[in-house]
Protein backbone atom coordinates (compact mmCIF):
# COMPACT_ATOMS: atom_id res chain seq x y z
CA UNK A 1 0.00 0.00 0.00
CA UNK A 2 1.32 3.44 -0.94
CA UNK A 3 0.96 6.72 0.94
CA UNK A 4 -1.22 7.94 -1.91
CA UNK A 5 -3.64 5.09 -1.24
CA UNK A 6 -3.69 5.93 2.48
CA UNK A 7 -4.38 9.58 1.63
CA UNK A 8 -7.25 8.58 -0.65
CA UNK A 9 -8.77 6.42 2.10
CA UNK A 10 -8.52 9.31 4.58
CA UNK A 11 -10.18 11.66 2.11
CA UNK A 12 -12.99 9.16 1.66
CA UNK A 13 -13.53 9.03 5.43
CA UNK A 14 -13.63 12.82 5.52
CA UNK A 15 -16.21 12.95 2.72
CA UNK A 16 -18.38 10.43 4.60
CA UNK A 17 -18.23 12.47 7.80
CA UNK A 18 -16.26 9.67 9.52
CA UNK A 19 -12.84 11.25 9.97
CA UNK A 20 -11.88 11.37 13.64
CA UNK A 21 -9.94 14.24 15.17
CA UNK A 22 -8.19 14.69 18.48
CA UNK A 23 -8.73 17.70 20.72
CA UNK A 24 -6.17 18.86 23.27
CA UNK A 25 -7.31 18.98 26.90
CA UNK A 26 -5.46 21.77 28.73
CA UNK A 27 -7.04 21.38 32.17
CA UNK A 28 -7.85 18.69 34.67
CA UNK A 29 -10.76 16.42 33.78
CA UNK A 30 -14.09 17.69 35.04
CA UNK A 31 -17.51 19.08 34.19
CA UNK A 32 -15.81 22.30 33.08
CA UNK A 33 -12.66 21.93 31.02
CA UNK A 34 -10.31 23.91 28.81
CA UNK A 35 -9.85 22.42 25.35
CA UNK A 36 -7.88 23.91 22.45
CA UNK A 37 -7.63 27.25 24.24
CA UNK A 38 -11.32 27.61 25.10
CA UNK A 39 -13.41 26.87 28.20
CA UNK A 40 -16.30 24.42 27.83
CA UNK A 41 -19.05 22.71 29.76
CA UNK A 42 -18.28 19.07 28.99
CA UNK A 43 -20.58 16.07 28.67
CA UNK A 44 -18.05 13.72 27.09
CA UNK A 45 -16.11 12.11 29.94
CA UNK A 46 -16.56 8.72 31.59
CA UNK A 47 -15.55 10.26 34.95
CA UNK A 48 -19.03 9.43 36.22
CA UNK A 49 -18.44 10.18 39.91
CA UNK A 50 -16.25 13.23 39.36
CA UNK A 51 -13.23 11.63 41.06
CA UNK A 52 -10.55 12.20 38.40
CA UNK A 53 -9.45 15.47 40.03
CA UNK A 54 -10.41 14.68 43.64
CA UNK A 55 -7.86 16.08 46.14
CA UNK A 56 -7.74 12.76 48.03
CA UNK A 57 -6.68 10.92 44.87
CA UNK A 58 -4.09 13.56 44.01
CA UNK A 59 -2.65 13.35 47.54
CA UNK A 60 -2.57 9.53 47.42
CA UNK A 61 -0.81 9.66 44.05
CA UNK A 62 1.89 11.97 45.46
CA UNK A 63 2.41 9.68 48.44
CA UNK A 64 2.59 6.68 46.12
CA UNK A 65 5.19 8.37 43.94
CA UNK A 66 7.28 9.23 46.98
CA UNK A 67 7.19 5.60 48.19
CA UNK A 68 7.31 3.59 44.95
CA UNK A 69 8.70 5.98 42.35
CA UNK A 70 7.09 6.66 38.98
CA UNK A 71 7.37 3.46 36.95
CA UNK A 72 6.78 -0.18 37.84
CA UNK A 73 9.90 -1.15 35.91
CA UNK A 74 8.89 -4.71 35.03
CA UNK A 75 5.97 -7.04 34.44
CA UNK A 76 3.98 -8.37 37.38
CA UNK A 77 5.65 -11.78 37.06
CA UNK A 78 9.20 -10.42 37.16
CA UNK A 79 9.52 -7.73 39.82
CA UNK A 80 6.85 -5.19 38.88
CA UNK A 81 4.10 -6.45 41.20
CA UNK A 82 4.35 -3.93 44.03
CA UNK A 83 2.87 -3.96 47.50
CA UNK A 84 0.43 -1.30 46.31
CA UNK A 85 -0.78 -3.52 43.45
CA UNK A 86 -1.23 -6.44 45.83
CA UNK A 87 -3.20 -4.37 48.34
CA UNK A 88 -5.43 -3.04 45.58
CA UNK A 89 -6.22 -6.52 44.27
CA UNK A 90 -7.20 -7.59 47.77
CA UNK A 91 -9.30 -4.47 48.31
CA UNK A 92 -11.14 -4.93 45.00
CA UNK A 93 -11.97 -8.56 45.78
CA UNK A 94 -13.20 -7.62 49.24
CA UNK A 95 -15.23 -4.68 47.90
CA UNK A 96 -17.02 -6.94 45.41
CA UNK A 97 -17.34 -9.92 47.73
CA UNK A 98 -15.48 -12.16 45.26
CA UNK A 99 -12.61 -14.54 46.08
CA UNK A 100 -9.78 -12.97 44.06
CA UNK A 101 -8.97 -10.09 41.72
CA UNK A 102 -6.20 -9.51 39.18
CA UNK A 103 -5.05 -6.15 37.79
CA UNK A 104 -4.59 -5.42 34.09
CA UNK A 105 -3.26 -2.26 32.47
CA UNK A 106 -6.45 -1.56 30.47
CA UNK A 107 -9.92 -2.99 29.98
CA UNK A 108 -9.03 -3.84 26.39
CA UNK A 109 -6.06 -5.90 27.61
CA UNK A 110 -8.17 -7.54 30.31
CA UNK A 111 -10.80 -8.72 27.81
CA UNK A 112 -8.17 -9.98 25.38
CA UNK A 113 -6.46 -11.78 28.25
CA UNK A 114 -9.57 -13.44 29.66
CA UNK A 115 -11.00 -14.79 26.42
CA UNK A 116 -7.71 -15.87 24.85
CA UNK A 117 -6.68 -17.63 28.07
CA UNK A 118 -9.93 -19.58 28.38
CA UNK A 119 -11.02 -20.30 24.80
CA UNK A 120 -9.32 -21.88 21.79
CA UNK A 121 -10.16 -23.52 18.45
CA UNK A 122 -12.47 -26.19 19.89
CA UNK A 123 -14.50 -23.73 21.96
CA UNK A 124 -17.46 -21.42 21.31
CA UNK A 125 -17.75 -17.72 22.17
CA UNK A 126 -21.26 -16.22 22.06
CA UNK A 127 -21.46 -12.44 22.09
CA UNK A 128 -24.03 -9.65 22.02
CA UNK A 129 -23.78 -7.72 18.73
CA UNK A 130 -23.37 -4.40 20.55
CA UNK A 131 -20.44 -5.55 22.69
CA UNK A 132 -17.35 -3.41 23.02
CA UNK A 133 -14.72 -3.89 20.30
CA UNK A 134 -12.31 -5.45 22.80
CA UNK A 135 -14.64 -8.41 23.37
CA UNK A 136 -15.05 -8.93 19.63
CA UNK A 137 -11.30 -8.75 19.05
CA UNK A 138 -10.73 -11.17 21.91
CA UNK A 139 -13.08 -13.72 20.34
CA UNK A 140 -11.34 -13.41 16.97
CA UNK A 141 -7.89 -13.66 18.55
CA UNK A 142 -8.59 -16.90 20.41
CA UNK A 143 -9.76 -18.60 17.16
CA UNK A 144 -12.80 -20.16 18.79
CA UNK A 145 -16.09 -20.38 16.93
CA UNK A 146 -17.48 -16.86 17.24
CA UNK A 147 -21.29 -16.46 17.27
CA UNK A 148 -22.97 -13.06 17.67
CA UNK A 149 -26.60 -12.77 18.73
CA UNK A 150 -28.90 -9.80 18.12
CA UNK A 151 -28.69 -7.24 20.90
CA UNK A 152 -30.39 -8.61 24.05
CA UNK A 153 -32.10 -11.41 22.08
CA UNK A 154 -32.12 -14.15 24.70
CA UNK A 155 -34.12 -16.57 22.54
CA UNK A 156 -31.52 -16.40 19.80
CA UNK A 157 -28.77 -16.86 22.36
CA UNK A 158 -30.50 -19.91 23.83
CA UNK A 159 -30.83 -21.52 20.41
CA UNK A 160 -27.14 -20.94 19.79
CA UNK A 161 -26.20 -22.36 23.19
CA UNK A 162 -28.36 -25.44 22.65
CA UNK A 163 -26.72 -26.08 19.27
CA UNK A 164 -23.14 -25.32 20.37
CA UNK A 165 -20.83 -28.33 20.42
CA UNK A 166 -17.60 -26.77 21.62
CA UNK A 167 -15.45 -28.12 24.43
CA UNK A 168 -16.05 -24.93 26.38
CA UNK A 169 -18.77 -22.25 25.97
CA UNK A 170 -18.33 -18.59 26.92
CA UNK A 171 -21.12 -16.01 26.83
CA UNK A 172 -19.55 -12.54 26.74
CA UNK A 173 -21.43 -9.26 27.15
CA UNK A 174 -21.15 -5.65 28.18
CA UNK A 175 -22.95 -5.17 31.48
CA UNK A 176 -23.75 -1.55 30.57
CA UNK A 177 -23.53 -0.99 26.82
CA UNK A 178 -21.15 1.86 26.16
CA UNK A 179 -23.03 3.50 23.28
CA UNK A 180 -26.66 2.74 24.23
CA UNK A 181 -26.44 2.98 28.03
CA UNK A 182 -28.79 0.04 28.59
CA UNK A 183 -28.10 -2.72 31.11
CA UNK A 184 -27.73 -6.37 30.11
CA UNK A 185 -30.32 -8.78 31.58
CA UNK A 186 -27.68 -10.50 33.67
CA UNK A 187 -30.00 -12.78 35.73
CA UNK A 188 -31.49 -14.23 32.55
CA UNK A 189 -28.06 -14.58 30.95
CA UNK A 190 -26.79 -16.37 34.05
CA UNK A 191 -29.77 -18.75 34.01
CA UNK A 192 -28.97 -19.66 30.39
CA UNK A 193 -25.32 -20.22 31.25
CA UNK A 194 -26.30 -22.52 34.10
CA UNK A 195 -28.72 -24.43 31.86
CA UNK A 196 -26.16 -24.96 29.09
CA UNK A 197 -23.00 -25.14 31.22
CA UNK A 198 -21.35 -21.96 29.95
CA UNK A 199 -19.24 -19.30 31.59
CA UNK A 200 -20.55 -15.73 31.72
CA UNK A 201 -18.02 -12.95 31.13
CA UNK A 202 -19.31 -9.52 32.19
CA UNK A 203 -17.59 -6.33 31.05
CA UNK A 204 -18.80 -3.87 33.69
CA UNK A 205 -16.61 -0.96 32.60
CA UNK A 206 -19.52 1.49 32.75
CA UNK A 207 -21.32 -0.02 35.74
CA UNK A 208 -18.56 -0.40 38.33
CA UNK A 209 -18.81 2.45 40.85
CA UNK A 210 -22.14 3.60 39.42
CA UNK A 211 -24.65 0.76 39.74
CA UNK A 212 -25.71 -0.65 43.10
CA UNK A 213 -26.23 1.14 46.39
CA UNK A 214 -22.52 0.89 47.26
CA UNK A 215 -21.25 1.15 43.69
CA UNK A 216 -20.35 -2.53 43.39
CA UNK A 217 -21.68 -2.58 39.85
CA UNK A 218 -24.04 -4.83 37.96
CA UNK A 219 -23.69 -7.75 40.38
CA UNK A 220 -24.94 -5.63 43.27
CA UNK A 221 -27.56 -4.04 41.01
CA UNK A 222 -29.11 -7.48 40.43
CA UNK A 223 -28.05 -9.09 43.73
CA UNK A 224 -26.08 -11.86 42.00
CA UNK A 225 -23.18 -14.09 42.93
CA UNK A 226 -22.14 -17.20 41.02
CA UNK A 227 -18.77 -18.92 40.49
CA UNK A 228 -19.37 -19.18 36.73
CA UNK A 229 -19.37 -15.36 36.45
CA UNK A 230 -16.10 -13.80 35.29
CA UNK A 231 -16.27 -10.14 36.22
CA UNK A 232 -14.19 -7.42 34.52
CA UNK A 233 -14.29 -3.70 35.23
CA UNK A 234 -12.15 -0.71 34.41
CA UNK A 235 -10.61 1.78 36.81
CA UNK A 236 -10.38 4.85 34.58
CA UNK A 237 -14.09 5.69 34.50
CA UNK A 238 -16.08 5.94 37.75
CA UNK A 239 -12.95 5.15 39.78
CA UNK A 240 -11.28 8.17 38.17
CA UNK A 241 -7.77 6.79 37.62
CA UNK A 242 -6.49 4.10 35.22
CA UNK A 243 -6.34 0.36 34.71
CA UNK A 244 -8.69 -2.60 34.93
CA UNK A 245 -9.20 -5.82 36.83
CA UNK A 246 -10.77 -9.25 36.60
CA UNK A 247 -12.45 -10.83 39.62
CA UNK A 248 -13.83 -14.29 40.25
CA UNK A 249 -13.00 -17.73 41.56
CA UNK A 250 -9.44 -18.43 42.75
CA UNK A 251 -8.69 -21.07 40.04
CA UNK A 252 -9.79 -18.57 37.38
CA UNK A 253 -7.41 -15.88 38.61
CA UNK A 254 -4.54 -18.35 38.87
CA UNK A 255 -5.22 -19.55 35.32
CA UNK A 256 -5.11 -15.95 34.06
CA UNK A 257 -1.79 -15.35 35.83
CA UNK A 258 -0.38 -18.38 34.01
CA UNK A 259 -2.03 -17.94 30.59
CA UNK A 260 -3.21 -14.38 29.91
CA UNK A 261 -0.61 -13.00 27.52
CA UNK A 262 -1.75 -9.40 28.03
CA UNK A 263 -0.95 -9.85 31.72
CA UNK A 264 2.29 -11.80 31.38
CA UNK A 265 4.01 -9.83 28.63
CA UNK A 266 3.56 -6.21 29.64
CA UNK A 267 4.96 -3.84 32.25
CA UNK A 268 2.73 -3.36 35.28
CA UNK A 269 1.03 0.02 35.49
CA UNK A 270 2.73 2.49 37.90
CA UNK A 271 2.19 1.56 41.56
CA UNK A 272 1.45 5.19 42.39
CA UNK A 273 -1.82 4.70 40.48
CA UNK A 274 -2.65 1.73 42.71
CA UNK A 275 -2.35 3.99 45.77
CA UNK A 276 -4.71 6.48 44.11
CA UNK A 277 -7.19 3.69 43.39
CA UNK A 278 -7.16 2.55 47.01
CA UNK A 279 -8.24 6.10 47.90
CA UNK A 280 -10.89 5.95 45.19
CA UNK A 281 -12.39 2.75 46.61
CA UNK A 282 -12.54 4.46 50.00
CA UNK A 283 -14.49 7.35 48.45
CA UNK A 284 -16.97 4.92 46.89
CA UNK A 285 -18.12 4.25 50.44
CA UNK A 286 -17.45 7.59 52.12
CA UNK A 287 -19.02 9.76 49.42
CA UNK A 288 -22.01 7.72 48.36
CA UNK A 289 -23.88 10.99 47.76
CA UNK A 290 -22.12 11.13 44.38
CA UNK A 291 -24.20 8.21 43.08
CA UNK A 292 -27.31 9.85 44.51
CA UNK A 293 -26.58 13.10 42.68
CA UNK A 294 -25.88 11.18 39.49
CA UNK A 295 -29.27 9.46 39.68
CA UNK A 296 -30.96 12.84 40.22
CA UNK A 297 -29.20 14.36 37.20
CA UNK A 298 -30.12 11.40 34.99
CA UNK A 299 -33.79 11.77 35.95
CA UNK A 300 -33.67 15.56 35.49
CA UNK A 301 -32.11 15.27 32.03
CA UNK A 302 -34.61 12.67 30.80
CA UNK A 303 -37.52 14.79 32.08
CA UNK A 304 -36.35 18.13 30.69
CA UNK A 305 -34.82 17.31 27.30
CA UNK A 306 -37.89 16.76 25.15
CA UNK A 307 -36.65 17.08 21.55
CA UNK A 308 -39.05 16.30 18.72
CA UNK A 309 -36.61 15.51 15.89
CA UNK A 310 -34.11 13.32 17.75
CA UNK A 311 -34.66 10.18 19.80
CA UNK A 312 -33.25 9.66 23.28
CA UNK A 313 -32.61 5.97 23.84
CA UNK A 314 -34.01 4.40 27.04
CA UNK A 315 -31.18 4.43 29.58
CA UNK A 316 -31.07 4.75 33.35
CA UNK A 317 -27.29 5.11 33.40
CA UNK A 318 -25.03 8.17 32.96
CA UNK A 319 -24.77 7.31 29.24
CA UNK A 320 -27.62 9.17 27.51
CA UNK A 321 -27.54 8.61 23.72
CA UNK A 322 -29.42 11.05 21.50
CA UNK A 323 -29.85 9.29 18.14
CA UNK A 324 -29.69 11.73 15.22
CA UNK A 325 -29.40 9.32 12.29
CA UNK A 326 -27.01 10.51 9.61
CA UNK A 327 -23.35 11.37 10.18
CA UNK A 328 -23.52 14.93 8.85
CA UNK A 329 -26.35 15.96 11.15
CA UNK A 330 -24.62 14.45 14.17
CA UNK A 331 -21.43 16.38 13.40
CA UNK A 332 -23.36 19.63 12.76
CA UNK A 333 -25.23 19.20 16.05
CA UNK A 334 -21.99 18.66 17.99
CA UNK A 335 -20.46 21.72 16.29
CA UNK A 336 -23.52 23.85 17.12
CA UNK A 337 -23.19 22.85 20.77
CA UNK A 338 -19.47 23.59 20.72
CA UNK A 339 -20.20 27.07 19.37
CA UNK A 340 -22.33 27.54 22.52
CA UNK A 341 -19.47 26.38 24.75
CA UNK A 342 -20.73 22.82 25.30
CA UNK A 343 -18.73 19.70 24.42
CA UNK A 344 -20.63 16.54 23.45
CA UNK A 345 -19.11 13.94 21.09
CA UNK A 346 -20.74 12.90 17.82
CA UNK A 347 -20.51 9.10 17.59
CA UNK A 348 -20.60 7.61 14.10
CA UNK A 349 -20.07 4.23 12.43
CA UNK A 350 -18.31 1.89 12.89
CA UNK A 351 -18.63 2.64 16.62
CA UNK A 352 -22.43 2.50 16.19
CA UNK A 353 -24.50 0.87 13.41
CA UNK A 354 -24.94 2.69 10.11
CA UNK A 355 -27.81 5.19 10.23
CA UNK A 356 -27.62 5.48 14.04
CA UNK A 357 -25.12 8.32 14.44
CA UNK A 358 -25.72 10.06 17.74
CA UNK A 359 -24.60 12.38 20.46
CA UNK A 360 -23.29 10.37 23.40
CA UNK A 361 -24.13 12.55 26.39
CA UNK A 362 -22.24 11.50 29.54
CA UNK A 363 -23.44 12.79 32.89
CA UNK A 364 -21.25 13.09 35.97
CA UNK A 365 -21.73 13.78 39.65
CA UNK A 366 -19.47 16.78 38.99
CA UNK A 367 -22.28 18.40 36.97
CA UNK A 368 -24.92 20.61 38.53
CA UNK A 369 -28.60 20.82 37.60
CA UNK A 370 -27.82 24.19 36.05
CA UNK A 371 -25.24 22.50 33.80
CA UNK A 372 -27.80 19.95 32.66
CA UNK A 373 -30.48 22.61 32.19
CA UNK A 374 -28.07 24.57 30.00
CA UNK A 375 -27.49 21.50 27.82
CA UNK A 376 -31.22 20.81 27.47
CA UNK A 377 -31.99 24.41 26.50
CA UNK A 378 -29.13 24.45 23.99
CA UNK A 379 -30.38 21.27 22.31
CA UNK A 380 -33.93 22.62 22.08
CA UNK A 381 -32.67 25.88 20.63
CA UNK A 382 -30.51 24.10 18.05
CA UNK A 383 -33.42 21.86 17.09
CA UNK A 384 -35.42 24.97 16.20
CA UNK A 385 -32.63 26.54 14.15
CA UNK A 386 -30.51 23.75 12.65
Give one DSSP letter per residue of 327-347, joined into a string. HHHHHHHHHHHHHTTEE--EE
Q: Once rounded to an integer, what is the mean pLDDT over residues 358-372?
A: 97
pLDDT over 90 (residue 166): no
Fold of 20-49+288-385: 3.90.1150
Radius of gyration (C-alpha) of the chain in whole angstroms: 21
Is 380 an active-site residue?
A: no
pLDDT over 90 (residue 248): yes
CB atoms within 10 A of CB 254: 12
pLDDT band at 99 (very low <50, low <70, confident <90, very high): very high
Active-site residue (options: 105, 178, 280, 364): 178
β-strands 38-42, 346-347 pairing: unpaired
- pLDDT for 299 equals 97
pLDDT tens for each residue of 299-311 = 999 999 987 789 9
- pLDDT for 377 equals 95
Output the average pLDDT for the chain: 95
- pLDDT for 286 equals 94
- pLDDT for 368 equals 97
Residues contributing to the annotated binding site: 20, 107-108, 132, 178, 206, 234, 351
Q: Is 214 exposed, middle or buried (0-12, 13-18, 19+ CB in 10 A)?
A: middle
pLDDT tens for each residue of 24-80 = 999 999 999 999 999 999 999 999 999 999 999 999 999 999 999 999 999 999 999
pLDDT band at 293 (very low <50, low <70, confident <90, very high): very high
- pLDDT for 15 equals 86
pLDDT over 80 (residue 326): yes
- The fraction of the chain above a pLDDT of 90, given in percent, is 90
pLDDT over 90 (residue 19): no
pLDDT band at 222 (very low <50, low <70, confident <90, very high): very high
Q: Is 223 exposed, middle or buried (0-12, 13-18, 19+ CB in 10 A)?
A: exposed
Residues contributing to the annotated binding site for substrate: 20, 132, 351
- pLDDT for 346 equals 94
Exposure string for 282-306, b = 16+ CB within 10 A, e = fewer: ebbeebeebbebbbebbebbeeebe
Distance in angstroms between the alpha carbons of the first and the last residue of the chain: 41
Q: Where are the domains of the chain?
A: 20-49+288-385, 55-286
- pLDDT for 164 equals 93
Q: Once rounded to an integer, what is the mean pLDDT over residues 6-14?
A: 90
Active-site residue (options: 54, 76, 85, 237): 237
Nearest-angstrom CA–CA distance, 355 and 336:
20
Nearest-angstrom CA–CA distance, 252 and 129:
26
- pLDDT for 20 equals 85
Active-site residue (options: 54, 100, 206, 367): 206
- pLDDT for 179 equals 94
Region 55-286: CATH code? 3.40.640.10
- pLDDT for 386 equals 77
Is 32 an active-site residue?
A: no
- pLDDT for 120 equals 92
Q: Once rounded to an integer, what is the mean pLDDT over residues 129-143?
A: 94
pTM over cut 0.85: yes
pLDDT tens for each residue of 107-130 = 999 999 999 999 999 999 999 999
Is 237 an active-site residue?
A: yes
Q: Are 278 and 84 in contact (CB under 8 A)?
A: yes
- pLDDT for 38 equals 95
Please enumerate in sequence order all residues whose Cβ is within 8 A of that of 193, keeping only pairs 6 or more positions apart, or say none.
171, 199, 200, 228
Residues contributing to the annotated binding site for pyridoxal 5'-phosphate: 107-108, 178, 206, 234
Please enumerate in sequence order all residues whose Cβ is within 8 A of that of 7, keeping only pairs 6 or more positions apart, or say none.
none
Amino acid sequence: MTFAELHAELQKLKAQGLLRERRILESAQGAHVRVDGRDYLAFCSNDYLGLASHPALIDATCRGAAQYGVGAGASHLIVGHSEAHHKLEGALAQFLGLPKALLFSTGYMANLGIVSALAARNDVVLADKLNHASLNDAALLCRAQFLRYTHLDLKQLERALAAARGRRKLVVTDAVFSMDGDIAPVPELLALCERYDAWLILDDAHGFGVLGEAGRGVLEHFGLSDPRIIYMATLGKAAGVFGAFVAGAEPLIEALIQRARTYIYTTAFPPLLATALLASLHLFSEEGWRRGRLRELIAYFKTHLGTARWRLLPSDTPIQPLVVGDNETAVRLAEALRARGILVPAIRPPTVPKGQARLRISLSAAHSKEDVRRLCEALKDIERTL
